[in-house]
């Protein structure tokens, strides 16, 4: 099981709760911040349901969201990031999930998963591949797998962490 944690305005709590009730997700706790008028939510989700749930959450929310994903595996704790965004292409807005997994490095993701709805146009994939989040350019990663389900398309990408480390070293040494 993975833990998800994120903060949303309190008026979106019912929307979040609806996505929990429709999924294989367990609510761990909710913390209400009166001064920020927001709630921090922690959920538990099975690994195989992670991307599907994040896409469902992206569709339900009217705003972009950053989600922390904590994974405990083989005596290690990994902290991943998911970005739930809406991308405008051809005068329409499409929900997109971008999951950064940090299993082989702490500072740059080794694996990236992009989740979109199956009816999204090809131009959406092109637009997402040109995105940069922080220092990570999505287009620098190589496609390793594509999974198509009834409700989603997931594109798995892999970054060569060792080459990035060498490239950063040479860039900063100059």
pLDDT mean for each 10 residues of the chain (174 residues)? 96 94 93 96 96 96 95 92 96 96 89 95 94 92 94 92 46 38
98, containing H or E segment: strand 92-101
Smallest Cα–Cα separation from 154: which of 72, 54, 69?
Answer: 54
Return the pLDDT at 112.
97
Q: What is the dihedral of CA 29, 111, 129, 148, to 10 degrees?
A: -80
Return the pLDDT at 69.
98
**102 neighbors 78 (Cβ within 8 angstroms):** yes
| Cα–Cα distance measured from residue 87 to residue 125, given in angstroms and rounded to the nearest whole number | 10
Place of tokens 């807005």: 93
| Cα–Cα distance measured from residue 96 to residue 38, given in angstroms and rounded to the nearest whole number | 23
Q: What percent of the chain has pLDDT over 70?
A: 92
Place of tokens 């892999």: 158
| Cα–Cα distance measured from residue 31 to residue 7, given in angstroms and rounded to the nearest whole number | 9
- Give Cα separations from 126 to 75, 90, 108 (angstroms): 38, 12, 22
């Amino acid at each position: 099981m993975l833990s998800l944690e994120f903060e949303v305005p309190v008026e979106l709590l019912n929307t979040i709760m609806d996505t929990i009730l429709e999924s294989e997700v367990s609510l761990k706790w909710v913390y209400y911040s009166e001064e920020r008028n927001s709630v921090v939510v922690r959920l538990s989700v099975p690994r195989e349901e992670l991307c599907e749930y994040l896409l469902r959450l992206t569709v339900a929310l009217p705003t972009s969201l950053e989600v922390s994903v904590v994974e405990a595996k083989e005596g290690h704790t990994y902290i991943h990031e998911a970005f739930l965004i809406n991308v405008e292409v051809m005068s329409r807005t499409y929900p997109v999930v971008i999951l950064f997994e940090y299993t082989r490095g702490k500072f740059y993701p080794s694996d990236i998963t992009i989740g979109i709805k199956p009816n999204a146009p090809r131009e959406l994939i092109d637009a997402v591949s040109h995105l940069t989040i922080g220092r990570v350019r999505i287009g620098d990663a190589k496609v390793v797998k594509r999974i198509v389900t009834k409700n989603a398309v997931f594109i798995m990408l892999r970054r060569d962490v060792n080459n990035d480390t060498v490239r950063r070293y040479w860039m900063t040494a100059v």
